Amino acid sequence: MDAQSYNTALADLRTVRDKIKKGRAELTRLENERDRRIAHLASYEKAKAERIAPAAGLSVADIVSLAPALAPDSIAADHSPPQPSAPEPAARPADSEPEPVDQTGAVAPAAGTTRDPQSAPSPAPAAENTHGPQQAAPTTPNAPRILPSIPEGEAGDAWCTHTAGLASSRPNFTQQARSTVFLDTTTGVLVHRHQTHRLDLGNQSAADILTAVFHTLPEGAERIYITAGAPWHRNADRYPYLRDAVAAWLNAPTPGWRTDTGRGRDRMAGHFVHARNPVGRYQREDGSQHCEIRSVGEWFDLDGDDPATVRDAFVLLWQTLRRHWPDAVVMGSPSQTGRDLWARTIPQRGQYADGFPVLSEELRGLLHATAGQGRNELITPPRVPAQLPQLVEYDRTFAYAKHTWKSPVGNPRRITAATFAAWSEKEQNRALYGCGHWHVRVTVPDAWNHVGLLPAPAPGERVWHYPSQPRTTFTTWAGGPEIHTALANPITPWKVEILDGILWEDGKPLDDWAKKLKETWTNLSAQAHFQGDAQQARAAHLASRAVRAILLYGIGAFAQRPRMVTGTTPRTLERDVPPDAEIISFDDELITWQRPSGYSRDPNAHPEWTAAIWSGARAALLTQRHRDDDTYAGALHTPPGSVIAFRTDALYLTQPHDWPYHHQPGDYLLRGHLNGPLTAPTTEEDLLALRDAGRAALASPGQEA
C-alpha cells in the first residue's frame, strides 16, 4: 500500500465511521420511540406485559422495567417460570457446546442462540432452587449486584450433596468419525481427502452449498467446514445484528432438506446460532443423509490458509491424538472433542470407577452465579500515567493447562464461619490452600497502592471488578487460590473474613487428560518449529492451536451453563409466545424467542472443576512461582502504576520484565512491545489497537515502533 492508497482508505474509513454514528443515532431514536409507545400502552387499564413484550420484541422483564405498573401480581409470590396456556412451540436446548450422550433429543426447526465459549458463563442459580431466598434484582441499573448465599441450617446443608443417579462415567461405545470436507466459499475451492474441486456456489445460501457439494461428491459429506467466506454474513447489512443475519441464513428454505432432528447417540439437533461460528444441521427429507455446515473458526484463527492446509491440520491433529487415545475421533467442535476424550480417561478401577458424581442443582447454580471466568480489566488514568513510556504485552502460554493438576472431588462439605473459626491456624491454611469456594468479607489494606486482588460483583449481570482503593470493604465469593494470594501476597496481607464456604477433597480427575493434551500440544508445536515444508509447518501450528482449543473449551464445557431454550411462533399466533421469553428476532412470518429452562441432567456437568481452574488462572496473573528459576512473575511483581490491563491470560505493562520462558504451559510469553510515548488507552478499542501495533512492532524489530 502506498501513501495515496493509505490516505484514500483513511477517508473511506471515516465515511464508514460517520455512517455508524448516524445509524446509532437512528437506533437510539427508534428505541426511545418504542419506549414511549410502551409507556402509552401501559396507560390502558387492561394492558398486560406478556401481550406487549412480543409486539415490542422485548422480554416481559424489560417491559416491567419500563412500566412497573404492569408487573404481574404473581411475580412476588411465585418464582417458577409461568407456563403458557397454549401448547408451546417445539423447542431445543441451546447449550453453548452440546455434547453427545446416550440418547436422542427433541429439536425444533428454529434457530437458537448461544454465547462464545470463552466468554463468562451465564449467571443465576436455577429457578428451582427453593431452599433459600431468591436473589433480588437491582432496583436500578447501577445498583450493586448482591451475590447469592447458602441458606442457613438444614436447608443449606442439603445443597452440599450430589444429584442422585447422575455421574460422569466412561463411555462404553466407540465414537464414529464423520466424512468431512473443507470449503472456501470465497473461491469455491473444496478439498475432500486428497482431491481438490472447484464449485459454483450460486448465492452461497445453505441450499446452494448443499446442492453443489452433493453434486460434486455423490456419496456426500456429513460435515462441511467453511474455511473462508462466512456465507452467513452475506446479507448482514439488512439486519441490525449479525446474529439476526445468521439466523435468517440458517432458516432459509433448503429444498430437499429439513432441519436435522438428531440420530443415534447424538442429541445435537437444530441449528446453532452464533454471530461468528454458527452450525447448520440438515437432513434429507427422506432421512437418508445428514450434514452439518460449520465454521473452522471454532478451532483456530486462519490467516489466508487454503482448505488443503486446513485439512492437513485436522489430519495431523487426529494422528497425534491417536498416540494417546487409540479410539480418538475429531468431533465437530473443540469442546465436544475435549469432553469425549476426557470421558475416555475416567479410571476403570478405584474410587471413581463408577464415575464422578454431579453436584446438586442448587450448588451448581451457586457456582454459576459466583465463579467468574477470566479477569478482564482496563486500568485508566489517574491510576496509570496519562502518557505511557511503552506498552508491553505478556501472554500466559496454554495457561489453563497449568491449573489442571488438582481439582475438587468427593462429597462437598459446608464450612460455616463458626466451624472455620474453631480450626487451628494450620487447619485453616490447609483448607484455604485446598479445593474450596469461599464466601468472604474483604478489606483492602490502608496503604495498598497496587492492583486489586479479589473479584467483587459490579452493577450488571455477570460483571466483576477488582477493588483496590485502601480501606474498601466488600463481600464476594472467591476460590482457594485467590484467597491464598490475598493472604500471602508479596506486598502486604489483605484482611479476609470467612463467612461461609464449600470444601472438597483434592483429586486429579483432569490430570491424565490434560497431560496427554499437553504432550500432544508440545509434539505439534515442535513439528511447527522444525518442519522443513512450509505448508506442513503451518498445518502443525494450526493443529497445535486446535489442541489448545480442545483443552480450553473442554474445560469451559464442564461448567454446563443453564440451558436457553429457543423456539419459533408464527406471527399470527403472537399470543402463544411464552410469557417469560425474550424475542431475539422476527420477520413477516415467524417470531424467534429464547427463555431459560434451568439445568439439564448432564452427566458431565462439573462447574466445580472450571471454577477451580479459573480461580487458579486469575491468581497466577498476580503471582506465579518458577521453581526451577527460583523467581516469581505476575502483576504483583511489577512497580505500582505499571499494570495497564488484564485480558484473561494476558498482562499489559508499561515496562518489560525478565521473566523465565521455557515454552511450558503457564509461562509468560512476550507477545508485543510498542515504544512510547503513548496515550494511555481508555477504552477496549484503544487497548486492542495498541496491542495489534505492539505485536506488529515486535514481529518486525527493524521497523520503527
Question: Tens of pLDDT along 8-35?
Answer: 776 778 778 767 877 877 787 888 788 8
The partner residues of 393 in beta bridges, in order of sequence, read: 652, 672
Euclidean distance between CA atoms 164 and 475, whole angstroms: 33
pLDDT at 211 over 70: yes
Alpha-carbon 550 to chain mean position: 13
Q: Which amino acid is at 302?
A: L
C-alpha cell at 658: 525478565
Instruction: Decide if 436 contacts 429 (C-beta within 8 A).
Output: no
Q: Please report, to the nearest 10 degrees, the dihedral formed by the alpha carbons of residues 17, 22, 24, 30 taken in order.
A: -170
Q: Which amino acid is at 396?
A: R
Percent of the chain residues topping a pLDDT of 90? 57
Condensed to tens digits (0 to 9), the pLDDT of residues 281-324 reads: 999 988 888 999 999 999 999 988 999 999 999 999 999 999 99
Q: How far is CA 591 from CA 57, 235, 238, in A?
A: 9, 19, 17
Phi, psi of 298 (to 5 degrees): -65, -25
Give the single-character DSSP code of 160: S
Q: Which residues, 6+ apart, have CB-to-CB distance to 14 below 8 Å? A: none
Instruction: Decide if 276 contacts 297 (C-beta within 8 A).
Output: yes
Residue 96's nearest CA partner among 461, 564, 555 is 564
Alpha-carbon 677 to chain mean position: 35
When pLDDT is averaged across residues 414-436 and rounded to a whole number, the result is: 93
When pLDDT is averaged across residues 42-51 and rounded to a whole number, the result is: 79
Instruction: Decide if 586 contacts 571 (C-beta within 8 A).
Output: yes
Condensed to tens digits (0 to 9), the pLDDT of residues 370-387 reads: 998 889 999 999 999 999
Condensed to tens digits (0 to 9), the pLDDT of residues 335-362 reads: 999 999 999 999 988 888 888 999 998 9
Predicted local confidence at residue 56, as pLDDT:
83
pLDDT at 543 over 90: yes
Condensed to tens digits (0 to 9), the pLDDT of residues 455-511 reads: 999 877 678 999 999 999 999 999 999 999 999 999 999 999 999 999 999 999 999
Condensed to tens digits (0 to 9), the pLDDT of residues 648-698 reads: 999 999 999 999 999 899 999 999 999 989 999 999 999 999 999 999 999
pLDDT at 205 over 70: yes
More confident position, 338 or 146: 338
Q: What DSSP element (H or E) covers 534?
A: helix 534-558
When pLDDT is averaged across residues 83-110 and rounded to a whole number, the result is: 32
**92 burial via Cβ count (<10 Å: 0-12, 13-18, 19+):** buried
Predicted local confidence at residue 267, as pLDDT:
57
pLDDT at 123 over 70: no
pLDDT at 270 over 50: yes
Which residue is associated with the grid cell 431452599?
A: 131
User: Mean pLDDT across the chain, nearest whole number?
Assistant: 84
Lowest mean per-residue pLDDT among 119-128, 444-453, 612-621 = 119-128
Euclidean distance between CA atoms 281 and 306, whole angstroms: 24
Q: Which residues, 6+ apart, have CB-to-CB distance to 106 below 8 Å? A: 90, 92, 261, 269
Alpha-carbon 312 to chain mean position: 27
In the sheet that 590-596 helps form, which strands lie side by side, from edge to edge? 91-93, 564-570, 590-596, 582-586
Phi, psi of 356 (to 5 degrees): -100, 115
Predicted local confidence at residue 74, as pLDDT:
38
The partner residues of 433 in beta bridges, in order of sequence, read: none
pLDDT at 139 over 70: no
Pairing state between β 590-596 and 564-570: antiparallel
Condensed to tens digits (0 to 9), the pLDDT of residues 51-91 reads: 788 788 787 767 877 777 776 543 333 333 333 333 333 33
Instruction: Decide if 641 contacts 385 (C-beta within 8 A).
Output: yes
Euclidean distance between CA atoms 179 and 486, whole angstroms: 51
pLDDT at 591 over 70: yes
Predicted local confidence at residue 475, as pLDDT:
95
Predicted local confidence at residue 665, as pLDDT:
92
pLDDT at 121 over 60: no
The partner residues of 537 in beta bridges, in order of sequence, read: none
Predicted local confidence at residue 435, as pLDDT:
94
pTM for this predicted structure: 0.76
Euclidean distance between CA atoms 18 and 456, whole angstroms: 38
How many other β-carbons are positioned within 10 Å of the β-carbon of residue 112?
29
In the three-class reduction of DSSP (H, G, I as helix; E, B as strand; rest coil), residue 310 is classed as: helix
* Alpha helical stretches, state H, 346-498: 361-370, 417-422, 425-433, 480-487
Alpha-carbon 158 to chain mean position: 30
Q: Measured between alpha carbons, how far apart are the two ends of the chain, in Å?
A: 19
